Amino acid sequence: MPLIHVLNGPNLNLLGQRQPEIYGRETLADVEALCREAAAPHQIRFLQSNWEGQIVDWIHEARHEAAAIVINPAALTHTSVAVLDALMAFEGPVIEVHLSQVHKREPFRHHSYVSKRADGVIAGLGIEGYAAALRRIVQLLG
């Protein structure tokens, strides 16, 4: 079965602690468990970093080892041309996920560099957005 990368950006390691009224009370470990279940029978590589360069490196690695990427770039969504450029070099499907409904939030959150490459964008479903993204990826991969 093809490998799927699930990449998480800055501050997602604080899920359940940071602004639970916006991001929910579930932890990143809860997200990972949900992702593993939703991706079955595919394997996932579930990663989180607060460093833009690390996210870029993982996208580069995905070019050689993954069939698809689900990415929650967090704040890098709105700032990182580097993440966009790395994703443009990835040939498989990419789905962008956001826990909150970004279009109901501050205006700077309405713009996403990543969306210019993403084959789908899911926002506002909480951690269930990851499951929806992975179900779609599994469909696309057959």
98 is catalytic: yes
The DSSP letter of residue 25 is S
Could you tell me which of 103, 100, 99 has the C-alpha nearest to residue 127?
Answer: 99
60 is catalytic: no
Say if CB 70 and CB 133 are below 8 A apart: yes
Rama region for 74: left / alpha / beta (φ>0; ψ in -120 to 50; rest): left
Catalytic residue among 23, 60, 64, 111: 23
Q: CA-CA distances (angstroms) from residue 79 to 3, 71, 94, 139?
A: 28, 15, 18, 30
Residues 61 and 67: their CA atoms lie apart, in Å, by 11
Catalytic residue among 5, 60, 98, 130: 98
Active-site residue numbers?
23, 98
